[in-house]
Structures are given as structure tokens and as C-alpha cells.
């Protein structure tokens, strides 16, 4: 049973560019959340998707957007990249509200130069 799968594992982009990160949730899970983890910090909540809609959003600018597909997979898009966007981006999936815990993927390491 595959857990949460994220792609790509590593990515290098130039300031001002746009990037798309992808996530396939654990089998049986229908909710996907995205977190940003800067070096030496704890993960910060970006947003959560359920039934193809953004259900909750953290304190991130509109440059960060997402999408959820009918098969529950999800994408995170970041426009106009800044150096400060360099981080590990973690996808987490759960069933329903997430009260019972999330399963996290290994993340995508984004470096903006």
C-alpha cells in the first residue's frame, strides 16, 4: 500500500519563475494538505483541499495556489518565485477532517537561485 507520493524530489528554479509540485495521497485518503518547511524550522500550513476545493488556508500570499483532481491528487503552484520560497514542501493526506492524523510524504526540496 503506497503512502503519500510527491514529485519531483528536488527542484532548482530561478527567481521570478513559476513551479508546480505534485502529490498523490495515500490510498483511501481524500484530503490533501500542503506544508512549507524552511531550513531549521517546523512545517507551516499552506492550505488544504477536499472535494476539489480549498477548505482552509494558512498565512501565505496569493502566489501560492493549488488544485485537487477528482482522483484526490493535488498540485501546489507557486508564481513569481522569491529566494525565500526555498524550502521543503510537504504534502500530507488524511481521511475526512484530519482529526486522526495525517500521513506525510517525503517532500519536494525547492531551491530558488
Partner 1 sequence: AQKVTQAQTEISVVEKEDVTLDCVYETRDTTYYLFWYKQPPSGELVFLIRRNSFDEQNEISGRYSWNFQKSTSSFNFTITASQVVDSAVYFCALSEHTSGTYKYIFGTGTRLKVLA
Rg of the chain, C-alpha, whole Å: 13
Total residues at interface with partner 1 (CB under 8 A): 29
- Number of other CB atoms surrounding residue 105 within 10 Å: 21
- If one asks whether residue 22 binds partner 1 (CB under 8 A), the answer comes out as no
Name which position in 48, 68, 74, 93 contacts partner 1 (CB under 8 A): 48
Span near partner 1 by CB under 8 A; candidates 22-30, 52-60, 64-72, 78-86: 52-60
Query: Would you say 111 and 11 are in contact if contact means Cβ atoms under 8 Å apart?
Result: yes
- Number of other CB atoms surrounding residue 46 within 10 Å: 22
Name which position in 17, 18, 77, 97 contacts partner 1 (CB under 8 A): 97
Name which position in 31, 68, 74, 93 contacts partner 1 (CB under 8 A): 31
- If one asks whether residue 92 binds partner 1 (CB under 8 A), the answer comes out as yes
Query: Would you say 89 and 107 are in contact if contact means Cβ atoms under 8 Å apart?
Result: yes
The cell 508546480 sits on which residue? 20
- Number of other CB atoms surrounding residue 76 within 10 Å: 25
Which residues here bind partner 1, judged by CB under 8 A?
A: 31, 33, 35, 40-45, 48, 50, 55-56, 58, 88, 90, 92, 97-107, 109
Amino acid at each position: 500500500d503506497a503512502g503519500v507520493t510527491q514529485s519531483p524530489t528536488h527542484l532548482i528554479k530561478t527567481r521570478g519563475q513559476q513551479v508546480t509540485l505534485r502529490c498523490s495521497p495515500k490510498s483511501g485518503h481524500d484530503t490533501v494538505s500542503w506544508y512549507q518547511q524552511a531550513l531549521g524550522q517546523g512545517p507551516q500550513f499552506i492550505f488544504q483541499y477536499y472535494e476539489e476545493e480549498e477548505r482552509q488556508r494558512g498565512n501565505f500570499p496569493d502566489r501560492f495556489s493549488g488544485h485537487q483532481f477528482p482522483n484526490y491528487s493535488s498540485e501546489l503552484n507557486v508564481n513569481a518565485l522569491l529566494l525565500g520560497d526555498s524550502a521543503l514542501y510537504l504534502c500530507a493526506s488524511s481521511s475526512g477532517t484530519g482529526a486522526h492524523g495525517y500521513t506525510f510524504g517525503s517532500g519536494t526540496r525547492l531551491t530558488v537561485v
